[in-house]
Structure 1
Amino acid sequence: MNSFKLALNTSTLLSFRLPVLEQIRITGEAGYEGIELWVSDIQSYLSSGGTSEQLKDALHEAGVEFVNAIAFFKWADEDENVREEGFRQAEEEMRMLASLGCRAVAAPPFGQVKHVSIGTMGDHFNRLVQLGRSLGIETYLEFWGMAEQLSTLETALAVAAASGIDDSRILVDPFHMYKGGSDWSTLEQLQGNQIGIVHINDYPAIPARADVADKDRLFPGDGEAPLKRLREQLERAEYVGYLSLELFKEDYEGLSALEVAIHGRKKMNDVFKGNE
């Protein structure tokens, strides 16, 4: 039996426009062990009078761990001024996340990165990881299949190597592997401790890869993604971290937010744990 733990990325509930406390409650009620919250949702809650202590209490009452945050700071932008502002934003948001007991934050290639070399991006990632660790937050390198740089797992491995940080971690996502044209055999190069978290989703045969978008993501097992192979590769790598459901569906055909969360957990169990 594998040791995967299940989390919910609250993008999956985006279409319901729920406040962050409701997102946390539903995640716990649906039986997930972890949650990925969006920094923007946390900031909306805090700016409207909520407190960090209330958020921490909600996480505790729901019985879920705040395993990763979804943020958008331009840490690798081509423009130095934009990049420096990105690092100021990163420090501010990392401090906030640390105060909530968050474990990590994702670092995708947000911003203008087309002409940033692998080596330069590695230097920027080194700086970002060091900043996060000084504040008690890990940083997971995330590749985006539609990005003009850092679009594949292969590139992510190259950036991680260029960073010089031996224990850096990568965020793995089947949708982005497909969209960017990553080679699934590259996963065999990863050991479990090199993976920060795994986003779980599926994708359809139509539209084609060039046209498929975030909104087209499917529940695991409902599409074409080689998720059985992913499971086997994660087991071989001895990965024991979180699998986090990340969808962006605009319509769940009448299901409530809780029903969506429960259904998603069942689908992940069916594919990755073979139980419940």
Structure 2
Amino acid sequence: MQVIRLEALSDNYIFVLNEPKQNIAAVVDPAEAEPVLQKLQELKAELVAIFNTHHHQDHIGGNRQLMQQFPNVIVYGGAEDKGRIVGQQVFLQQGDRVEFADRTAEVIFVPGHTRAHIAYYFPPDNPSETGELFCGDTLFAGGCGRLFEGTPTQMVHSLSKLRSLPDHTRVWCAHEYTLKNLQFALTVDAENTDLQRRYDEVKTSRSQGEATVPSLLGVEKQTNPFLRWEQPALQLATNTHDSVQTFGRLRGMKDKF
């Protein structure tokens, strides 16, 4: 399965999953239809699935037009998003499985950013390969999503699920926020040498117009403050030893950054 990253809107990423042997494709969070249609034409592929992570318009904005072009496409989303995702036909819960080509993804329920958010995790075919995590706006490279409909407790639980995946999992998050996220991270975890190194690398990449997505989950565990709520430096920065309070205060600080 080939993953193709497309740019959309101001800072969104759309992900096309391509299976050239069968000339079929799926798309994750089509913010808009046009870049997807152009890529499908280039690939000569039929769109068979739309995998939505949540209901926000910058993740489902292309659904309707893609459905018009591919009437047999199946639209997936979280069960609790019923009525909020255009064209949704399949209503997914924690532990469900979805298939594309010869790959099977595990559905992970990750409320916090929204009350109905889900992620799709394609485990590797063998342990030496990378898994693929499509996490929408729950986990970002260097950050996490705002809490629009959820609580810090929910988000810590959701991020704990993602954090438990293997280090060599590729994190396909839906926005190019990495540089700003790492700038904030340095204000609360300044002595983290892994973070310092990553910031320098990302700064160089962005100055050259290069994308920072996907990232690796192992790198996130070392440098992303929103996966590191037990770390003494972050608890000191937030003046609490409670994990949920540490996370919640970090999120509040980031909201004002």
| TM-score interval for Structure 1 and Structure 2 normalised by the shorter chain | 0.3 to 0.5
Larger % of strand: which? 2
TM-score, structure 2 as length reference: 0.34
